[in-house]
Amino acid sequence: MTPRRWLIIAVIACFTVASSPQTWAEEVKTSPEEASNFLSTLGKEALATLSDQSGSLEEREARVRELLNKSFDFDKIGRFVLGRAWKQATTEQRTEYQKLFSEFVLRTYSQRLGGYSGQSFKVIKSVPLGKKDALVTTEIGRPGGAPPLLCGWRVRGNNGNYKILDVTVEGISMLATQRSEFAALVQRNGVDGLIETLRLQVSKFSAQSSSS
């Protein structure tokens, strides 16, 4: 199974999104225990949302988008994923890219997750990671007798507010994978080309929602 497929399985299994970006640099050190509590609470909330089959699929997708939006730090993730091209981009390009990137991720995973009814989600351990973060390891139960999936979540806290910066599955980082894909797009078509690709994807999601 390809690394990309593993990432999709992880996202579907637990509503999901370790690297060490040097540009993330303002918060205090994150308590592993508090990061563990954050992931445990979030996992329960996510599974409850995904298991609730009341209402329409569009309504479930909207609830999933809300969970993702409040749980992941899309500003930091988007900036890191753009890589070296961030410094080359103009202020207007950065603003447009960040808006489209967050909407692209939210729409992509909310559609994948809307019809899913979750299995199980359990925190295994939580340890310090780098100078500021905590790495929370979780076990995700899967149906059909498949072995549980281990995921690592990079969490950063700031004054009691916790955000996910990355998720790894079988050692594969979501950020590293997306960064590699975006770098290839920028190399071929420039930052404007990447922005246009994201815009087309978001427009496609909007058209699908309107027709459903």
Contacts 24+ apart (CB under 8 A), 151-155: 151/10, 151/14, 151/16, 152/18, 153/35, 153/39, 154/18, 154/19, 154/129, 155/30, 155/35, 155/38, 155/39
CA distance 128 to 35: 10
Predicted local confidence at residue 119, as pLDDT: 72
| Whether residue 13 has pLDDT greater than 80 | no
- Write the pLDDT tens digit of every residue in 65-105: 898 899 999 999 999 999 999 999 999 999 999 999 999 98
Domain residue ranges of the chain, discontinuous segments joined by +: 28-204
Quote the mean pLDDT of the chain. 82
Please give the pLDDT value at position 38. 96
pTM of the model: 0.77
Token digits for 27?
């918060």
Tell me the fold of 28-204. Answer: Nuclear Transport Factor 2; Chain: A, (3.10.450)
